[in-house]
Amino acid sequence: MNQNIPKLMLTLCAVIILSFYGLSQEKHSGEHKATHWSYKGETGPLHWADLNQEYRGCGSGKSQTPIDINKTYKSDLDKLKFSYSEQPLSIINNGHTIQVNLNAGNTIMIDEEKYSLLQFHFHTPSEHTVSGKHFPMEMHLVHKNSEGELGVVGLFFVKGRKNLELQKIIDNLPSEINKVKSVNSVKIDPANFLPYKTQYYYYSGSLTTPPCTEGVIWVVLKHPVEASAEQINALKKVMSENARPIMPLNKRFVLESAQ
């Protein structure tokens, strides 16, 4: 399947994208000091576009994320090919979410393109909705290909059994904001979060935080995974509610994989 996203646009977007999605933690921290944004009040999502000239896309963009996944089109999309393995835990509370940073070596094939996993983080409640329904929590696994283009995998959590991989994160939550906590004795494996079935929704969107840069490939897994209510509440207590409101779909189409 050919992506309907101009390569040039994606490449130009890449530099801006680095700021939030963990490619340069120093730059990310500096941005917080320069322009404060949040999920409520005068610095909340309704005002992001007014906080900084670089954030104007949060208000004017036509391909923004998150969206409500409702009407979809079945398509012969390629099966996702995850190649994840464990590595020492590196975690940060960046003031907006709990984020786990990854070294090189974890990859995914999306539409015959290899993307490397950079980091994953959490939102409570879910940012995407399905037929208007929020899930208690959503994980975003952020990847980048060799041309600097981003591909993000969204994974929903429902309340159920204790999630053993998630517990490793909860047991090692940082006590300070914007300070990376490395725990070499704890190994985290992103593969242990994935559902058994990996059918997915596919669309072109944006970052869900300022600067809301567009040109991001979104892959949202259809099948959720479980975590206990206590685990979800533990993360929510640290992050608070950090979900951007649903954005208009406009003229985009959401594709649905058959496998």
* CATH value at residue 22: 3.10.200.10
* Adjacent-strand bridge partners of 99: 92, 121
Q: Which residue has the tokens 């020492």?
A: 88
Our count of domains for the chain comes to 1
CA distances from 94 to 85, 145, 158, 217 (A): 24, 24, 24, 23
Whether residue 30 lies inside any domain: the answer is yes
Span 66-103, pLDDT tens digits: 999 999 999 999 999 999 999 999 999 999 999 999 99
Q: Are the C-beta atoms of 72 and 254 separated by less than 8 Å?
A: yes
In a domain, 2, yes or no: no
Backbone angles phi, psi at 6, to 5 degrees: -60, 130
pLDDT in tens, 94-141: 999 999 999 999 999 998 999 999 999 999 999 999 999 999 999 999
The mean predicted confidence, pLDDT, of the chain is 89
Return the structure tokens found at 231: 């685990």
Instruction: Give residue-wise pLDDT tens across range 36-60.
Output: 999 999 999 999 999 999 999 999 9
Q: Locate 234 and state its tokens.
A: 């533990």
Domain that holds residue 69: 7-257
Is residue 96 annotated as part of the catalytic site, yes or no? Answer: yes
| 133-163 pLDDT, tens digit each | 999 999 999 999 999 999 999 999 999 999 9
For the chain, percent of residues with pLDDT exceeding 90 = 84
- Determine which of 7-11, 78-82, 155-159, 244-248 has the lowest per-residue pLDDT on average: 7-11
Instruction: List 156's β-bridge partners, or say none.
Output: 138
Decide: 256 and 73 in contact? Cβ < 8 Å. yes
Quote the strand ranges of 86-149, DSSP E: 87-93, 98-101, 107-110, 113-123, 129-130, 137-144
Q: What is the pLDDT of residues 187-230, one digit of tens each?
A: 999 999 999 999 999 999 999 999 999 999 999 999 999 999 99
Task: Answer yes or no: is 1 within a domain.
Answer: no
Given 28, 96, 123, 140, which residue is catalytic? 96
Question: Does residue 168 form part of some domain?
Answer: yes
Q: Does residue 88 lie within any of the structural domains?
A: yes
Give pLDDT, residue 258: 87
Is 201 part of a structural domain of the chain? yes
Token pair of 119 as six digits: 């980091």
Question: Which pTM was predicted?
Answer: 0.86
